Amino acid sequence: MKRYEVLQWAFSFLREHGREEKAAEMLLKHIVGEDGAHFFANLREDIDDALKAKFIKMVEAHALTGVPVQHLLESAHFFGREFIVNEDVLIPRFETEEVVAHAIEKIKEMKIDQPVIADLGTGSGIIAITLALELEHARVYATDISEKALRIAKQNAEKMNAEVAFFHGDFLEPIINEGIDPDVIVANPPYIAHSERDALSDTVKFDPDIALFAEREGLAAYETILAQMKMLPARNRRLVIFEIGHLQGEKVKNLVKQSFPESDVSLLKDINGKDRIISATIFG
C-alpha cells in the first residue's frame, strides 16, 4: 500500500468511531519519522508492512479505547516544544499555554526582573520548564506529590536544558520547608469535582486521577495552596496565577479574597471565551 492509502483508511476508520482525523496524520508522521513538507511529498511512497501494521494498531487503539494519541507517541507539544508524556502525567492543553503566556506577560509588566517562581503540581514540568526557558533570569522551582510525575518532569528539563529545581511534596509545602520565598506562584492543580467524572470524555479519563480530581467540588487544591501561602514571609507583593475550571471563576476569586482581603484579583477568559485564569497580586 501507498502511504496515502493507509492514511485514507485511517481517516475513514477514525470518523466511523467519532474521532478526529488529524490523529491519523500525527501517528503516521511518527511511524515514518517524517514531518512537514517532506512527509507530504512522500505520501505516494510505499509503506513497509511492519510500519503499516504498527500504524494500524495505534489507530485502532485510539479509535476503539480513546487512549490519547500523545500516550501512543509518548510526546506532546506545548509552547512550541515537544515534551515527554505518559500515563503518569496530565497531557498538556492549549488553555495552559494561555496561562503561561499570561504569567510571562504579567511578570514583565510588573518588572520582576529576576523572578523566583514556584510551579505547584508541575506534572510533566511544562509550566516550570517553559517559564525557565522564556524568562532568562528566572529562578524556577517546581513541586509535585507524584514521584512518577517528577521523573517525567526531570527528563523533560534535562532534554531541554532547562534549569528547574524539583521537589517532592504537596504544593507549597516543600518550597516553605526549603526556605524559598517566591515572587510568583503558578499552578494548574486538579480542579475537577468527583461528581463530574462520568461526564468526561474517554480520552481525558486516561490522565491520572491525582492530576484531575479534587475534593470540595474541585476547590480543595486552591484552598490548600492559599492556606499554605499564609506561611510564606510577608512581602510587598506576590503574583499568583491559577488555571481554573470554566465554572469556578467566581468561587476561586472569592477564595483568594477571603484569604487575602487586600489582594487585587482578576478573572480572565481563554480564547474560547470561558473563565480560565485567576491572576492575583497579593499584598502582605
C-alpha cell, 152: 517525567
- For 44-100, the pLDDT digits (tens) are 999 999 999 999 999 999 999 999 999 999 999 999 999 999 999 999 999 999 999
Q: Is residue 199 part of a domain?
A: yes
Average pLDDT of the residues in 112-130: 97
User: Residues with Cβ < 8 Å from 253, sequence gap 6 or more?
Assistant: 265, 267, 278
139 shares its domain with 236 = yes
Look at residue 284 and tell me whether its pLDDT is greater than 90: no
DSSP category for residue 46:
B
Average pLDDT of the residues in 3-17: 98
18 shares its domain with 152 = no
- For 122-144, the pLDDT digits (tens) are 999 999 999 999 999 999 999 99
Please give the Cα distance from 101 to 107 (Å, whole number): 10
Of 75 and 203, which is predicted with more confidence? 75
Average pLDDT over the chain reads: 96
121 shares its domain with 212 = yes
What integer pLDDT is reported at residue 45 of this predicted model? 97
CATH number assigned to the domain comprising residue 162: 3.40.50.150
131 shares its domain with 207 = yes
SS3 (DSSP) at 110: coil
What integer pLDDT is reported at residue 235 of this predicted model? 87
Look at residue 246 and tell me whether its pLDDT is greater than 90: yes
Number of Cβ atoms within 10 Å of the Cβ of 239: 21
Domain that holds residue 21: 3-65
18 shares its domain with 107 = no
8 shares its domain with 110 = no
Q: What is the reported pTM?
A: 0.93
195 shares its domain with 269 = yes
Please give the Cα distance from 70 to 220 (Å, whole number): 28
8 shares its domain with 96 = no
SS3 (DSSP) at 9: helix
Residue 178 region by backbone torsions, left for phi larger than 0, else alpha for psi between -120 and 50, else beta:
alpha
56 shares its domain with 96 = no
Please give the Cα distance from 107 to 114 (Å, whole number): 9
Q: How many separate domains does the chain show?
A: 2
What integer pLDDT is reported at residue 277 of this predicted model? 98
Counting DSSP H helices and E strands in the chain, the numbers are 13, 11
Q: Is residue 102 part of a domain?
A: yes
Q: Is residue 76 part of a domain?
A: no
98 shares its domain with 239 = yes
